[in-house]
Amino acid sequence: MKSHSILLLYLVFFIIQYVWERFLEIKNIRYVKSQDKSPPSFIAGSVSSEEYKNSIDYTLTKQRFSIFSSTASSIFLLLLILSGFLGYIDSLVAEIHLHRYTTGVLYLVIIVLIFRLFSLPFSLFDQFNIEERFGFNKMKLGLFFLDLIKGLILSFLLLIPLSYLLFFFMDKAGSLWWIYAFGVFTLVQFFIMLIYPTFIAPIFNKFTPLEEGPLRDRIFALADKLGFRTKGIFVMNGSKRSKHSNAYFTGIGKTKRIVLYDTLIQSMSEDELIAVLAHEIGHEKKQHTKKIFTISLIGSVAGFFILSLLLQYPPFFNAFGFKDPSYHAVLVLLMFCSGPFTFFLTPLFSLLSRKYEYEADNFAVKSIGDGENMKSALISIYKENLSNLTPHPLYSFYHYAHPTLAERIKAIDAVKL
């Protein structure tokens, strides 16, 4: 296939993805706007008319902004590709005459910085306009930029040595380099998962052990009853940045821990918190994390194999403005091309994720022997976060990693105790 045919094929898939996803967003906006202004029957008495109106306004505002930001991002990316800018930057970096590994790393760093700078105004507007307007933002401008700098430093601390390592495998390990690279990168992923709770997460947030008291005793009793071994229960100072609330399970092996947002503790009763924790333990007991990680490994090995094929195909590089194949160029191009050529898989992953959420809900209800606290906990989370209570079915099918609140309540009611 010639280079212009490759570029044309990419543009066709790019446009299909863009049109499809904007179609879903517009459809969702119209659907949400068409709903009655009073809360749906499944949450009647739990959510006031004012709270329901706020959730609709928040949903519509975020959705409209998403259309604007995604359109701007798509235009920006197309301009970079069609103008030959990616190849131009590659030529400029090559003129510095560094070692080719260092040239590749420098190119990747520049591309990352370009896209971070482009996305910066959108992040600022979202945080300090939309989130502020709806009462969620608790972050100061200084903290926002401190997080940005920390994130960049952490990204480069991972990107730079891993890129050198990958370039070494590409250069020295022969035609099967992608197998060795996959093996090493898998070990790196395990290592990051191992150190994330104790070394990476604390860079951004403060984690303190849950203070002694009835709640802590009940959580440990639940964990013991369910055979869940944990390094501890920690409270994260999420309120430092936002009023949004959540809970999650993180770590592997001896670093496993349960994390509760302080905002979640403030907004829920003990019985509701126990239900939420039972849900998180359900994910671990049902081995959802391991299953998702296994799927990601399959995707990774496929990605490395595709990289090995593309490196041997000069027209692919020429199509996007590069004079010759290079290790760093193939990484950037695969990143840009993967979305348009794989977006049709999105609903499959969403479906799988929703399946796991149903299983975790089911596990929680059976573990605590009560569905009412699970339902009230979910209603509280959706209400406090102004989540969309009535999304368009096609939009939620494609995008939602969690079932809608109505679907979860219906499933909980169907659990046989």
Helix axes 85-94, 100-125, angle to 10 degrees: 140
Q: Partners of 209 in the beta sheet? A: 234
The count of C-alpha atoms lying within 13 angstroms of the C-alpha of 248, restricted to the half-sphere facing its C-beta, is 11
* Token reading at 321: 């403005």
Give CA–CA dist 364/377, Å, rounded. Answer: 12
Q: Report which of 110, 126, 6, 119 is spatially closest to residue 61, judged by C-alpha positions.
A: 126
Helix (H, G, I), strand (E, B) or coil at 159: helix
User: Any catalytic annotation for residue 361?
Assistant: yes
Helix (H, G, I), strand (E, B) or coil at 303: helix
User: Any catalytic annotation for residue 131?
Assistant: no
Q: Report which of 274, 415, 399 is spatially closest to residue 358, judged by C-alpha positions.
A: 415
Give CA–CA dist 243/139, Å, rounded. Answer: 10
Give CA–CA dist 110/121, Å, rounded. Answer: 18
Q: Which of the residues 21, 272, 357, 361 is marked catalytic? A: 361
What are the phi and psi torsion angles at 287 (to 5°)?
60, 35
Exposed, middle or buried, 39 (CB in 10 Å: 0-12/13-18/19+)? buried
Handedness of CA 389, 394, 398, 401 (dihedral sign): positive
Q: Which of the residues 25, 131, 280, 384 is marked catalytic? A: 280
Rg, Å, the chain Cα set: 24
Give CA–CA dist 393/407, Å, rounded. Answer: 11
3-state percent breakdown (helix, strand, coil) of the chain, nearest 5: 75, 5, 20
Give CA–CA dist 344/219, Å, rounded. Answer: 40
What are the phi and psi torsion angles at 137 (to 5°)?
-70, 125
Q: With contact defined as beta carbons under 8 Å apart, do 200 and 154 qualify?
A: yes
With a CB cutoff of 8 Å and minimum separation 6, the contacts of 170 are 177, 181, 311, 327
Active site residues: 280, 361
